[in-house]
Amino acid sequence: MICKYLVTLSILISNAVTASCVWDTLDGNPTKLLGHRGEKAFMPEHSLGSYHMAAFESADYIEPDVVASKDGELVIMHSEWMSDTTNVASIPKFADRKRNFFFNGTYAKINRTDFWIFDFTFAELQEIKLVQENFFPYRPQYFNNDFTILSVDNYLDLIANLTNTMNRTFGIVPELKSPEVFNWLNPSPNGRWFEDKLLGILEKRGFFANQPPASDPLMVGGDLLNEVMNIKPANYKAPNYKRAVIQSFDPDTCKYLASKTKIPIVYLDQRTPTTYTPKGLDIVAKFSNILSMGKEIMLDGPENYFTNEKIAFNKTQIAEMGGFLNPEQLVAEAHKRGIRLSPYTFNDSRQKLNYYCNRGLNPNATFCPTNRKEELFYFFNLGTDYMFVENIFEAQVLRLAYDYKVRYGVDA
């Protein structure tokens, strides 16, 4: 806010640049961009190609979703089933693997007939190829069957290789999918086989020992452009840390992870109304440094959103917890507690914006973006710390344009 005042003044008086302009994120730096399943907009998700492209689009973090094979290898796939994003259904020798799987956990709820990743050994998974979901005409289908399913170790090897070849760091942001399912399939004394397996891999690769400082140094002037372009300043020193965060929709998993590692934990909220109150944030702050939610909540405000979604909440309880926080309050109250926010998922501009307000169903939305620039600027302006994005290139262009606006008061 002070920044905006200074910008206005400086433009009036001398057009001088003020150095005091910063973003409204917790550390004052530009929102960090997390490549959703790599660069899912253009490559089969979670493939070497998808991760490679995300790196060359200068994503700050590159996201893998973690599941496990029959023989206990941590592998990467968004869902526990495989028919959406692989060619498994067209491989005759695996035809008899298709089956119903029902799971009624506290957080993981599955009832579906499909091919299941945990019915295949890692060696068998190597015979299956990745394909692009065929939802949107702009998504190329010609990379289908070029890439195979990766293990977490393959992914980490690739990130290490890209770090070397590009001489820059990338954050990793593994998400543990349905921990209840994988811990049930792989019993262990503490019931946390899945979490322990990932933590073991990360520890072995030095992610425990070398954590970055909680906040990055404040960027100024052309720092963001240089970072996107991978241009090093004269005094550049390669960091001696490895950047990682771990995510899960399972709050018990988040709590367990937080007790075992200093790596920041992203709590993916499964639309729990009480989370969006001051006392709800107090609870989150005990086990998570980053709260991630569907982006619509941060546009509508929680009351509006849960009402539209017909998700019941207890008004007395919400009031007792301090009441629902509107989007601006949510950012301010989260930041006060040291929690950063990371809404998902910002799609390619060729996909229509699909908020309630875009469908004419929400006259009460805080703001109703009509294109991706308005959408991202709204979230940048709120002080969103991280964003899961597809078409990282567009997000980079818009982030640079917004950075220019913050620093120089000029709308690009």
Q: Which is nearer to ligand NAG, 14 or 111 (CB)?
A: 111
Cβ at position 90, least distance to ligand NAG in Å? 23
Q: In the complex with ligand NAG, which residue's Cβ is closer, 4 or 232? A: 232
- Residue 386's closest CA among 23, 26, 33, 21? 33
320 versus 374: smaller Cβ distance to ligand NAG: 320
- Nearer of residues 126 and 354 to ligand NAG, judged by Cβ: 354
Which of 176, 188, 149 minimizes the C-alpha distance to 67?
176
Q: Which is nearer to ligand NAG, 178 or 289 (CB)?
A: 178
Q: CB of 232: closest distance to ligand NAG in angstroms?
A: 4
Nearer to ligand NAG, 145 or 345 (CB): 345
- Pairwise CA distance, residues 75 & 182, whole Å: 12
Give the Cα separation of 112 and 120 in Å (integer).
17
Min CB(409)–ligand NAG separation in Å: 32
Q: Binding residues for ligand NAG, per CB under 6 A?
A: 102, 104, 111, 154, 157-158, 161, 167, 232, 236, 304, 307, 314, 316-317, 320, 345, 347, 351-352, 354, 363-364
Min dist. Cβ of residue 11 to ligand NAG (A): 35
Backbone φ, ψ for residue 194 (5° rounding): -65, -50
> In the complex, what is the shortest distance from the CB of residue 102 to ligand NAG, in angstroms, rounded to a whole number?
5
Residue whose CB is less far from ligand NAG, 31 or 47: 47
109 to each of 101, 193, 207, 270, how far by Cα in Å? 10, 19, 31, 12
Q: How far is the CB of 363 from ligand NAG (least distance, A)?
A: 6
Closest separation in Å from C-beta 71 to ligand NAG: 20
Q: How many CB atoms neighbour CB 138 within 10 A?
A: 11
* Residue 3 near residue 22 (C-beta atoms within 8 A): yes
- Comparing CB distances to ligand NAG, the nearer of 160 and 214 is 160
CB of 346 to ligand NAG, least distance (A): 8
| Spatial CA neighbour of 130 closest among 57, 197, 51, 194 | 51
Instruction: Please state the closest distance from residue 104 (CB atom) to ligand NAG, in A.
Output: 4
> What is the secondary structure of 96-152 as a DSSP string?
GG-EEEEEE-SS-EEEEEE-BGGGS-HHHHTT-BB----S-TTS--TTTTS-BPPBH
Q: Which residues contact 308 (CB under 8 A, 6 or more apart)?
A: 300, 356, 361, 362
Q: Which phi and psi (to 5°) does residue 292 adopt?
A: -120, 135
Residue 235's alpha-carbon distances to 231, 232, 238, 406, in angstroms, are: 12, 8, 10, 25
For ligand NAG, the closer CB: 79 or 307: 307
* Cα–Cα distance for residue pair 29/67, rounded to 1 Å: 33
CA distance 268 to 4: 32
